[in-house]
Amino acid sequence: MILEELLYEQAISGEHFPLLEYSPLKNPEALREAEISEVKISPITGRAAVLFDLRTSLQLWDLGSAGLLLFEGVETVSVDWPSDRIPGRFATPAGVLSISSPDDGRYSSVISSISSSFDEIHVESSEVFFFLLESTVVSDGTAPPDFMNAGAPEMVKGLPRMSGSFRTIGVDRLA
């Protein structure tokens, strides 16, 4: 499966994949130390996606090499950048997820950075999916790129990308 296709598919259910017992939707700490690899937004379908490299995750690294948070029925997306961010300096954008469901049935999801790459990504949506994935390009035996010494081309090459090929291990859903 190519993840970019999930942004444009007619309907997303996740029904034909195994249901995950452990995921960031049930345990927000599951994404601690995971690196955000890519963020995409589709104004056409009202979806947003955040791809994580799980090889550095403290709790998911042995389950899969990548994870995708997919937001359906997106109403708001915002990214807060730190005012002291140094242009041209790359940082490991590790995140922690928190999700709350207000009375109106919309999920308010916040991915907070524990590094200096961004402060937080905020998404308001009607549904949230988490796909646990195995990348066919980035394998378990390979190390993530060195953010302190690698240039942008080396980093992009060493991270999972939405245009890459993945095998879905399982899915979780809040609806």
Q: How far apart are CA 97 and CA 115, in angstroms?
A: 14
In this structure, what token pair is assigned to residue 133?
């994935």
- pLDDT the model gives residue 131: 92
The three-class DSSP label of residue 5 is: helix
Tell which residue, 170, 150, 155, has the closest CA to residue 66: 170
In this structure, what token pair is assigned to residue 32?
């601690």
53 contacts 34 by C-beta, under 8 angstroms: yes
- pLDDT the model gives residue 146: 59
Residue 113 has pLDDT above 60, yes or no: yes
Q: How far apart are CA 18 and CA 124, in angstroms?
A: 26
Residue 47 has pLDDT above 90, yes or no: yes
Tell which residue, 100, 108, 112, has the closest CA to residue 36: 112
Q: Each residue of 120-174: pLDDT tens digit?
A: 889 999 999 999 998 876 655 566 665 566 666 666 666 777 888 888 899 999 8
Listed in sequence order, the residues at least 6 apart from 12 whose beta carbon sits closer than 8 Å to its beta carbon are 6, 70, 72, 127, 129
Residue 16 banded pLDDT, cuts 50, 70, 90: confident
Question: Who wins on pLDDT, 33 or 140?
Answer: 33
